[in-house]
Amino acid sequence: QAQLVESGGGVVQPGRSLRLSCAASGFTLRTYAMHWVRQAPGKGLEWVAGLPSDGSNYFYADSVKGRFTISRDNSKNTMYLQMQSLRAEDTAVYYCARDLTSVITNLLESWGQGTRVSVSS
Amino acid sequence: EIVMTQSPATLSVSPGETATLSCRASQSVSRNLAWYQQKPGQAPRLLMYGISTRATDIPARFSGSGSGTEFTLTISSLQSEDFAIYYCQQYDYWPPCTFGQGTKLEIK
């Protein structure tokens, strides 16, 4: 059974960086497209970034483009989200999610339990 | 960016009855419309995609309908475990795929 476990969240000052990890088990990460989705406190869902299984392209929401980088390490079956120049509005629970297929469909079939990021001085 | 608008924000329904949730897109999304369920403290779960195709292990009391810009999620014979927040999502025009603001289904 597919399982995703996020880690790396915490409290960080504005302008600083943080790297989130998403460890996959029960399936091979490199055979699926993967995404990051966030949820600000008391708010709805916001898609953040995605990449297909072949890593040929990277896609970002405009709100994070140029500041966040999605990547994966197939040898570790782990995906990452490198976040730089963090802002207060980046405060959210960050979920990693597995796509339905190897190409991006944006159908988020499996989700981790999330890791909380708080950007505050 | 396509804006998704859900109504109502909160829906109160008694167990055993039927709940009807609505979702409107700012432009046509063809059949590329999905629904997710999120319970307090949990991650979202994919319920439905392609308007009316149930995801794995989703019971038949969940059904989807609509076309173009207007969509409906219907939950019949409401069970206690169905009370949650429901989000619609368009994945026709991306990036970004976009979600509605959610409808909270609460027990009446």
The pLDDT of B7-13, averaged and rounded, is 97
Contact B89, B99 (CB under 8 A): yes
User: What pLDDT shows up at residue B96?
Assistant: 95
* Mean local confidence (pLDDT), B34-58: 97
All residues of chain B having their beta carbon less than 8 Å from the beta carbon of residue A1 are none
pLDDT over 90 at B23, yes or no = yes
Contacts A50 to B, Cβ<8 Å? 95
**Residues of A contacting chain B (CB within 8 angstroms):** 37, 44-47, 50, 59-62, 95, 100, 104-109, 111-114
Residues of A in contact with B36 (CB under 8 A): 45, 108
Task: Identify the bridge partners of residue A70 per DSSP, sorted by sequence position.
Answer: A81
Give B102→chain A minimum CA distance, Å: 6
Is the model's pLDDT at B14 over the cut of 90? yes
Q: Which residue of B has its CA nearest to A48?
A: B96
Q: What span, in angstroms and rounded, lies between the C-alpha atoms of B107 and A109? A: 27
**Quick one: pLDDT band at residue B4, thresholds 50, 70, 90?**
very high
The residue ranges of DSSP E strands in B1-108, in sequence order, are 4-7, 10-13, 19-25, 33-38, 45-49, 53-54, 62-67, 70-75, 85-90, 98-99, 103-107
With bands split at pLDDT 50, 70 and 90, how would you rate the model's confidence at B106? very high
pLDDT at A55: 83
* Regions of chain A where pLDDT drops below 50: none
All residues of chain B having their beta carbon less than 8 Å from the beta carbon of residue A113 are 42-43
C-alpha Rg value of chain A to the nearest Å = 13
The mean pLDDT value of chain B amounts to: 97
